[in-house]
Structure 1
Amino acid sequence: MKRSIVTTCFLVAIGLLTAPSAFSQTFIPSPDEEVETTKRGQTGFKFLSASVDARATAMGGAVTSSTTGSSSAMFYNPASMARMGSNFSAGFGIMNYLVDIQYNAASVAYRPGGGNYGVVGLSLVNVDYGDFLGTVRAENEDGYIDTGVYNPTALAVGVGYARSFTDRFSVGAHVKYAKQDLGSHAKARSDDGATSLDDGTSATFEDYALNTIAVDFGVLYDTGFESLTIAMSTRNFSRELVYERERFELPLTFQIGISMDVMDLTSMDPNMHSFMVSVDAQRPRDFAEHVKVGGEYTLMNILSLRGGLGRAFVGEDSEEGFSFGAGLQYSASGIGFGVDYAYTDFGVFDAIQRFAVNISF
């Protein structure tokens, strides 16, 4: 009975995870027509695709199969949350993104009944895009009028659940409520119910905000050969959205990964040395297919050194370069603490830095 349940879940997972491929092409040129296309700029709510965890980012994002059993697994492959070794896990991270955009992320996970009922979790991502000066067109010397400062923001709140059906096979899902608020803007000049501007003219203001529900889904399979693990995930599955007259999709991403602690192939003490190597193949909706490669060396389960490349073998130019980072873990009296840091080179832009702390017991 258990085997049939696992088989059914696996087949359903494969169907859900490969579904994006069937709907990823919306334009088919004629056989005689040569068309050069790019997938960039085809999605909205891009904040949902940002890597918010320091450990994962330092490994180039190649963590579909190598996310530790912690609450942060919800952001990459919720199925990994089922491998949580403690009854409670929580994490908090900050990211200084491009052009002074600030990300804050938090997650908690709880394993009731020692894991007999799976693992449940909550997640939060908050984005502050900074302050912008609003303007409206006007027939004056400058050609515009200042309408004041506005502050665009974004938010995603999620609930996750993961369960291991056997000691090798796990399934997880993460349902998110996502909202993006672009602020209040002057839409048109009017004399009825309008706000007076600095030059005595008037304008009608309108709030530009949109929300939706998005779903992440993942599976994790331990092959039984040493620590070799295979995993798949689909993130940001949602309906089409509309801003005014513009239609767009969320940054749907399909990812499959494989990882292994290569020290398993040596005679070294695994409690002293660990070297996790992870490779992911990613197919995003708004960028070319590419490979992610990452590694993590851990000494005595205390110090971890990490490195990775988030966009290897990519068919399009990308400013994103190598990532690297480090982490410290310490356990005492059944309570574990961790601190992680990640640095990502971004070409002509300033480098992106991430910090994270976590606790488990």
Structure 2
Amino acid sequence: CAFSALINQAAMVFIPGKGAVGVSYSKYLADMTLFSGAVVWNLGDNGAIGFGYHSLLSGDIPFTTSTAPTSGLRTAAGLGNYSVTDLAIGPSYARRLTDAFSVGGSVKYVSEGTSGATGIDESITTIAFDAGTIYTTDWHKFRIGASFQNFGPDMQFITDSNIKQTLPTTFRIGFAGEPATLPMGSVMVSAEIWKLREFDSVLNLGVEYWVNEFVAARVGWKAGYSGAEDEGISAGAGFKFDQGNLGIALDYAFTQFTLLDNIHRLSVGVGF
């Protein structure tokens, strides 16, 4: 799908037809909102090019100080709310090296800014790079992939300070395959290990069942990190159908949390 331009660019060469476009909306933790969008064009023997967009909106955050930490004192001091916006946007390219092996990468413009009624509007920018690879086989459609995301220089809000903000550099490696073909559909299992810079590694596991290539049911879970006890199981569904010369895909996913808000994700994809 088109979101490979954001996750593992090497997968863009496997998009059928002329290309695909996708948009995604997530109601994230603590009233944050995540928007994503991507478009990919299949160039045949010349590979595939894409363009991806990520944005994270914090929503209103009460502005407090050491002398006005509560709502009443904030009002008396004339303090309002502020918000934080993160943005990553840029082009991607992928190419087959053999029939089974592909590589890809992207360069991204990354920014983070604060705005609102605080009088301290600030923004910082940098450039980041992604790279990915995928190897496929005919044995149960088994494939293995790896990606390296958000590699780039640190960012600094205050120029005369030694405090810097590092990018969330992430390494992922995973596999997927279809161990069984059922009379009315197929089952795919996947596993992925990802490592976010200074944090512990996380294991992601998932199962997907397609009924007649039309309706899918999905379930997944995480293990091996500090939030695993709070984060519950994830589940979702997908639908695929044709509309003229277009292939339409609709997906929904839900992740349950004990202490934090549950996460809802919606996405729409179109193949052309």
TM-score (structure 2 length as normaliser): 0.89
Residue 212 of structure 2 corresponds to residue 307 of structure 1 = no
Partner in structure 1 of residue 45 of structure 2 = 116
Q: For residue 165 of structure 2, what is the amino acid of its counterpart?
A: F
Residue 247 of structure 2 corresponds to residue 316 of structure 1 = no
1:79 CA displacement = 0.6
Partner in structure 2 of residue 160 of structure 1 = 92
Aligned positions of 1:64-143 closer than 5 A: 70-112=1-43, 115-135=44-64, 142=73
Match for 2:105 among 173, 192, 203?
173
Map Cα deviations across residues 307-355 of structure 1 (whole Å, 9 max, x no partner).
111x22x153432221110000002433101110000012211210001
Residue 159 of structure 2 corresponds to residue 249 of structure 1 = no
1:110 CA displacement = 0.8
Q: Which runs of 5+ in 1 are unaligned?
A: 1-69, 187-204
Q: Aligned pair in 2 of structure 1 residues 142, 72: CA closer, same or farther (>3 Å)? A: closer
Looking at structure 1, the residues matched to 132 and 244 of structure 2 have their Cα atoms a distance apart, in angstroms, of 33
Partner in structure 2 of residue 233 of structure 1 = 147
1:158 CA displacement = 1.8
Looking at structure 2, the residues matched to 91 and 184 of structure 1 have their Cα atoms a distance apart, in angstroms, of 31
Is this contact kept in 1: 2:9–2:104, CA < 8 A? yes
Match for 1:284 among 170, 193, 196?
196
Q: For residue 140 of structure 2, what is the amino acid of its counterpart?
A: E
Map Cα deviations across residues 290-321 of structure 1 (whole Å, 9 max, x no partner).
21101110011100100111x22x15343222
Q: For residue 326 of structure 1, what is the amino acid of its counterpart?
A: A
Q: Which runs of 5+ in 2 are unaligned?
A: none
Match for 1:356 among 263, 267, 272?
267
Q: For residue 99 of structure 1, what is the amino acid of its counterpart?
A: A
Higher Rg of the two aligned structures: 1
Looking at structure 1, the residues matched to 175 and 164 of structure 2 have their Cα atoms a distance apart, in angstroms, of 35
Looking at structure 2, the residues matched to 332 and 209 of structure 1 have their Cα atoms a distance apart, in angstroms, of 43
Give RMSD over aligned pairs: 2.2
Q: For residue 126 of structure 1, what is the amino acid of its counterpart?
A: S
Q: For residue 163 of structure 1, what is the amino acid of its counterpart?
A: R
- Identity over aligned pairs, percent: 30
Higher helix share: 1
* Comparing 125-134 and 144-153, the one that deviates more: 144-153
Q: Aligned pair in 2 of structure 1 residues 344, 137: CA closer, same or farther (>3 Å)? A: closer
1:148 CA displacement = 3.1
Q: For residue 26 of structure 2, what is the amino acid of its counterpart?
A: M
Partner in structure 2 of residue 333 of structure 1 = 244
Map Cα deviations across residues 68-121 of structure 1 (whole Å, 9 max, x no partner).
xx2101222111111111212011111001111111111111113xx1211111
Give the secondary structure class of the aligned counterpart of 2:55. Answer: strand
Is this contact kept in 2: 1:263–1:273, CA < 8 A? no
The number of residue pairs the alignment matches comes to: 264
Higher strand share: 2
Map Cα deviations across residues 185-218 of structure 1 (whole Å, 9 max, x no partner).
75xxxxxxxxxxxxxxxxxx44321111111110
Looking at structure 2, the residues matched to 153 and 254 of structure 1 have their Cα atoms a distance apart, in angstroms, of 24
